[in-house]
A and B are shown apart, each in its own frame.
Chain A
Amino acid sequence: MARAETRPETWLYPTPRGLFCAPGNFYIDPPAGAERALITHGHADHARAGHKHVLATFETIEIMKVRYGVNCAGQFQIARYGSSETIEGVGVRFVPAGHILGSAQIVLEWAGSRIVVSGDYKRADDPTCAPFELVPCDVFVTEATFALPVFRHGPVTGEIGKLMQSMARQPQRTHLVGAYGLGKSQRVMKLVRLAGYDRPIYLHGAHAALTDLYVRLGQDFGDIRLVSEASAEDLAGALVMCPPSALGDRWSRRFDDPVAGFASGWMRVRGRARQRGVELPLVISDHADWPELIDTIVATGAEDVWVTHGRDDALVHQLGQMGRRARALALIGRDEEAE
């Protein structure tokens, strides 16, 4: 048991400039302009441009460079999964989080206690990234994007099956699948390929650069083409990946009577699908669902759980019922909708 002056909350805490580790003098996933930033993964609400020094996995750094330019940080340092290092006496280790390519939990050790900052994570299989690795700890800092018991995401194969069946049943209609452009889109493409779909997949321009990066980093998606370079005949009946916002945008008018799909954990709730005008909701999430959140937290053995962005109310309540210390950690700038 840590002594009073070294209790975890005295050395890792939220500040207006981000989650701060005082003895190590660094921030985790901070807003722009940190002296030293440790970054869990490449999503824009975690990885930002403009830090002096960035420590992240190779993939995360590459993602940041694609998004913000090669000079988006003063200096980059690669963290390899599993290898430990010390920053001002604080032990630091990056461990796979299973969220997207390059995503990591950051394990911090200082003064006899261990804190795991999960970033975003999931437990379900994902052929585009390393699986989540469980690290026992004293404090687990968890996300809570889908922290309501209504969120139980079924096996992803069933959802991909829905997409394949819909394409088989309506072969003349273009299937637009709205998906977040980093991670989700690539995961869906990979799963569709694994399910045997071998026709070209077309991409909205906004998904091109990051998909190229995935390919450079060794992911194979088969025949990938750009919508902007395709003819109307090519696109009739084709599978097209696009940002969710493009579904209701002028861009989508180029397709004649398309099927609008949306791959997201939010699609578990009908109202969300209706709000978006989605005809083919696909419950595919890159975040832990409710049972995964609870099981993971329990498995870490953490006595203290700090809950970051999402539905902290429900999760804090549930953990309290289970006799654990849990509290909400208000971090600014987290984007609930980006799933």
Chain B
Amino acid sequence: MKTKNLIKRTAAALLAAAVLLLAPVEAVQAEELPYDTYNYNYREDIVITPAAYVPNGSVTGLSVGTTDFKEPQDFCVAPDGLIYVADTGNNRIVVLNHEMTEVVREIAAFDRNGTEDTFNAPYGVCVSENMELYVADSNNRRIVVLTPEGEFIKIVDNPQSEILDDNFDFIPLKVTVDYADRIYAIVKNAFEGILVFESSGDFTGYFGTIEVKITLWEKFWRRLASKEERSKSQLYIPTEFTGIDVDDGGFIYASNIDSEGVQAVRRLNPQGKDVIQKGENGNVGGDIRIGVYGDYSGPSQITDVVYRDKGIYSLLDRRRGRIFTYDKEGNLLYIFGGVGTQEGTFNVPVAIEAIDGEIIVLDAYYGAILRFSETRYGALINEAVGLRFDGDETEAIDKWQEVLRLDANNELANTGIGKAYLTAGDNRLAMEYLELGMNRKYYSIAWKRYRNELLAKNMNIIMSVVVVLIILLVVYKKWRKKKKNGKEGKEVKEVKEGGLI
């Protein structure tokens, strides 16, 4: 059913595209975009939306005045606005200025207590709030901590603990640091979760383990299988984390590849418990409608996550090159991006960051940073969600109204306006907008209040009508009884006449 619908939608989208192509110049921007911009509505159908972000050029090694990047795997934006790129294939860290026009410095080697040391495939990079540079030096099996200028501070390696295997291979891939300088590292083949280190470099334990889900059906087959068969069958191991980021409150956002496409990101509290909100659709896994066959089928493969601002975070999908943005409640705000060879499309997107209202994505194949700047549509949504996050719902109304002007069917905008009217006490208007926003929960609240209002206002009339009706009913019954008594003889006769035919 879903595939069928998908085919239908695609056909509709193609038709729309054809119409757009035929239409005169006004729709130029939408036409020029190398990717689809859409969202999912309440019924999980695809709805084409205006673009929230449009391509804004790309940055390569050559364009900033150095040699080309070779399979860069990660980058990060430092608190002072500089951009640190882990140029994995060239074994160096390249620091770009805020505008991404030139190289500030390159860190290829550092002075470690008198001896010169180098990186070997630096895979992940992160700058802490205290301006310390953390590099996941994967093939050297260590995390190197430097000053932003490249002075050596310390090295974190060889974690010691009872819970680690004897032949545990410490290959850090991604690293991030919270406000207390705790180090969170995603390590290759560490399925138990994220490795956490104290600021001193001592290993404290695993964090945010993904639980394995075994369906009843799989359990049934395992029950039937013999021991030999079971040993040969696939192991049920959790998926690895792919990307990691930390928000202002010290909550860790960690993405993983979910084979069911339901939850591809976790928001982990300091205890390592997942506290993410999944929104109306109960889904924070990227695409909801997915094809069944072909290269671009299957659930989204989320490779990285970036926490942006005011509870908004974005996920990067490797499979179809899409960027999904959610708010704190887990509502999908907008989707854009795609795989391709045109400017503004990806081949192997690996990392995503946000900088001054721009979203930047690192592509390992092109060795380039692709920039996307927000449109008015995207900016309005970001602002409105931000205002709601701050509790300024009434102020958000104006923003949402403008969003509606650009995208009349935006459920989020309708719901946002409805909620604001609800808080303001205008239940009638709230109901109208909440129904357009297909929000059952808040519509019910508004309707209940409005119902009570109506009842309270019209109690006199309702009660009078009820009393009058009761009196009328009694009178009618008496009258009918009288009539029946008078007519009884006649009716009996009629029935007899109408007898067997």
The answer to whether A and B assemble together is: no
Please report B residues at the A interface, Cβ cutoff 8 Å. none
Please report A residues at the B interface, Cβ cutoff 8 Å. none
